[in-house]
Amino acid sequence: MKLRRPRSWVQWLRKLCQGFCLVLFLWLVLAARFGDGKSASPLLSLFFDLDPLVFLSTFLSTHAITKSLLFALITIVATLLLGRVFCGWVCPLGAAHALAGWFRARRKGRIVAETRSPWQRVKYITFTAFIVMAAFGVHWVGILDPMPLFYRSVTTGVLPAAQYAVEDTSTYLYRADPRVGGVRATAFSEPVYQFFRDKVFQVARQSFDNGTLISLLFILIVALNFVKPRFWCRYICPLGGMLGALARRPVMRLHNDPKTCKSCGVCAMNCPAAAQPDKQGDWLPTECFGCWNCVASCKQGSLSFRFEPPFTKAETGAIDFSRRMTLAAGIGGLAAIGGLRVAPQGRDKQPFPDTLIRPPGARKEREFVQRCLSCGVCMRACPTNGLQPASLEAGLEGLWTPRLVPKIGYCHFECNLCGQVCPTEAIQKLTVPEKKQLKIGLATFDTSRCLPHNYGRECLVCEEHCPVPKKAIYLVPRETTLRDGTKKTIKVPYVDPDLCTGCGLCEWSCVFQDRAAIRVTSANESRHPNNQPILPGAYSGAATGTSGTSGSGGDPYGG
């Protein structure tokens, strides 16, 4: 049966609100990328602040309340009064699902009324498991929570792909310079390219490790709308599970007038949540998005939303989610903790993975993963593209959390944006002078690849790029014998571990492009006193020897 859906002013208002929130969300993603020396807007964390699941899970895992997350109380109060309107009116990922559902409806033509499904309980199981995990210090909510998931997907996949398509298509047209009659194609393509370059992208294209995997997951989530409308929201979304639990007895309730209702099922056909508006006394407030489709589609005017006292018993249905199922979900969450922490990286001591270089201001590893949402805001804000989503460097618990990859981008000496934009303060807010005093790693030479150390050739690139005022990389003259027997004095670089901050600029700029001759590891980081390879009080004088090897900081610091 193909339906023409009537529109009410409430539906138009909802669509305008959805569209505005989606556009605002995408604008905030774009606004997170700044030039050097800029400060971040507090609005960047707006949608994270409004997310009550972020608030609850962060509180349970850290036993600390972040002031900005108190805005989540607005969403909680709105849900208690109006039901799951956040899902239907505000959530930007929900808006993306609604848009995909619109395309599905246009392609399919036939709409079938749906009733409750036992699979709708899955989102409550997911929510319960995540909350139990958070209570035991595992903050994995960001993997499936819609705000971090959508932000991470747009940052690491959608936006880089869009920028690639615009830039490369424009470059191709510019070089080919095709004509249609007497009109050049570049007359149209260049203004479009310049608009996106200057007004939308503004900065160089970013690229991310794991971006393809994150993008494929996002595409799958959106594509599921062609199986069922709002599939993710109905069956999986943990935030939907939390809001559904809060919306069991809302103040605003659907009323179906039995005197005029003909049980035609048209309202159920237009319901994207399978909330059963056609079943008198069996409407599901825990599933209803407050989209108003059912009210607008009823030709008899039998349906209406009314405000009733919250403590009066509502004549509604409910999803069967028993205490036994709650207990099973909690046990599942506990089992997941064991799976996440079985790897060596799940320990808060050793080993300290050498490639796990956290952003400046990151808390100690255990506390860091207890706060981090893997949302990607810091990665988007990083001006050098050096922050990348981790794979298994921090274990499965630290999946897609930020780490610095110096070969891709370095930590800018004058930048502290990652701490400014972090919505849960996993990365602490530091002033630029405070940030300059922190060490996130230590540079070490691979002397078998270093030109002065092993090849007898001058190279000053790492020393020249070192941003520390008193260079952490210094040069020591050394006499070397060339192949023809002649002797030559060259300047050999060494690292002063007392000055090196581990910013990675030396590794990024090294002339060895495949694997740098100087590399930064997590050793010597300020946040972990145990990860200190340099013994306190070790000799730190200038190097004068002629040895061809250099360990952490070179031979002069061997103790």
pLDDT tens digit sequence for 257-315 = 888 888 888 888 888 888 888 888 888 999 999 989 889 888 888 888 988 887 777 77
Enclosing H/E stretch for 20: helix 9-31
Alpha-carbon gap, residue 166 to 162, rounded angstroms: 6
Same domain, 126 and 261: yes
pLDDT value for 160:
92
Instruction: Tell me which of 171 and 341 has the higher pLDDT.
Output: 171
Mean pLDDT of 10-15: 90
- Decide if 346 is inside a domain: no
pLDDT value for 47:
94
By the 8 A CB rule, do 510 and 453 touch? Answer: no
Alpha-carbon gap, residue 269 to 113, rounded angstroms: 4
Phi, psi of 475 (to 5 degrees): -115, 135
Phi and psi based region of residue 83 (left: phi greater than 0; alpha: psi -120 to 50; beta: remaining)? left
Q: Residues of the chain with pLDDT > 70: what percent?
A: 91
| Residue 233 pLDDT grade (very low, low, confident, very high; cuts 50, 70, 90) | very high
Q: Which of 278, 316, 282 is nearest to 299 (CA)?
A: 278
Same domain, 96 and 192: no
- Decide if 181 is inside a domain: yes
Q: Which of 375, 333, 125, 144 is nearest to 237 (CA)?
A: 144
What length does the chain have? 559
Q: Residues of the chain with pLDDT > 90: what percent?
A: 52
Instruction: Decide which of 250, 272, 307 is a domain's last residue.
Output: 307
Q: Which of 509, 362, 542 is nearest to 443 (CA)?
A: 509
Instruction: Decide which of 191, 215, 239 is a domain's last residue.
Output: 215
Beta-bridge partners for 183 = 180
- Decide if 92 is inside a domain: yes
pLDDT value for 542:
46
The answer to whether residue 1 scores a pLDDT higher than 50 is no
Mean pLDDT of 398-420: 94
Here the tokens at position 100 are 């995909």
The answer to whether residue 546 scores a pLDDT higher than 90 is no
Here the tokens at position 116 are 């409750």
Alpha-carbon gap, residue 148 to 135, rounded angstroms: 19
Report the C-alpha dihedral over residues 432, 436, 441, 442, rounded to 10 degrees. 150
Q: Are strands 303-307 and 473-481 parallel, antiparallel or unpaired?
A: unpaired
By the 8 A CB rule, do 361 and 428 touch? Answer: yes
Here the tokens at position 187 are 């007359």
Q: Which amino acid, one-letter code, is at 331? A: I
- Decide if 344 is inside a domain: no
Same domain, 445 and 550: yes
Same domain, 78 and 51: yes
| Residue 185 pLDDT grade (very low, low, confident, very high; cuts 50, 70, 90) | confident
Place of tokens 């310049």: 194
The CATH number for 521's domain is: 3.30.70.20
pLDDT value for 5:
47
Same domain, 185 and 102: no
Same domain, 478 and 544: yes
- Decide if 459 is inside a domain: yes
Exposure pattern of 528-556 as b/e (b: 16+ CB <10 Å)?
beebbbbeeeeeeeebeeeebebebbbbb
Same domain, 199 and 237: no
Alpha-carbon gap, residue 145 to 242, rounded angstroms: 11
pLDDT value for 232:
94
The answer to whether residue 235 scores a pLDDT higher than 90 is yes
Alpha-carbon gap, residue 553 to 445, rounded angstroms: 7
Alpha-carbon gap, residue 255 to 316, rounded angstroms: 10
Alpha-carbon gap, residue 58 to 138, rounded angstroms: 10
Average pLDDT score, the chain:
86
Here the tokens at position 377 are 């805001």
Residue 59, judged by CB atoms within 10 A of its CB (0-12, 13-18, 19+), counts as middle
- Decide if 188 is inside a domain: yes
Exposure pattern of 70-82 as b/e (b: 16+ CB <10 Å)?
ebbeebbebbbeb
| Residue 423 pLDDT grade (very low, low, confident, very high; cuts 50, 70, 90) | very high
Domain of residue 182: give its range. Answer: 155-215
Tens-place pLDDT, residues 469-479: 999 999 999 98
Alpha-carbon gap, residue 461 to 45, rounded angstroms: 39
DSSP 473: E
Residue 327 CA: distances (Å) to CA of 118, 197, 334: 17, 53, 11
By the 8 A CB rule, do 194 and 234 touch? Answer: no
By the 8 A CB rule, do 340 and 330 touch? Answer: no
pLDDT value for 81:
93
pLDDT value for 558:
32
Same domain, 472 and 538: yes
Coil, helix or strand for 112? coil
The answer to whether residue 556 scores a pLDDT higher than 60 is no
CA 121 to chain centre: 26
Enclosing H/E stretch for 389: strand 387-389
- Decide if 116 is inside a domain: yes
CA atoms in the 13 A half-sphere facing the CB of 304: 9
CA 251 to chain centre: 34
pLDDT value for 536:
63
Residue 235 CA: distances (Å) to CA of 84, 321, 405, 516, 533: 14, 13, 37, 47, 49
Q: Which of 303, 302, 281, 283 is nearest to 292 (CA)?
A: 303
By the 8 A CB rule, do 319 and 284 touch? Answer: yes
Same domain, 119 and 163: no
pLDDT value for 319:
80
Alpha-carbon gap, residue 376 to 5, rounded angstroms: 39
263 CB neighbour count, 10 Å cutoff? 13
Provide the domain count of the chain: 3
Same domain, 19 and 87: yes
Tens-place pLDDT, residues 100-110: 888 877 665 55
Same domain, 108 and 238: yes
The answer to whether residue 551 scores a pLDDT higher than 70 is no
Long-range CB contacts (within 8 A, 24+) of 484-488: 488/456
- Decide if 326 is inside a domain: no
Same domain, 517 and 454: yes
Instruction: Decide which of 286, 307, 328 is a domain's last residue.
Output: 307
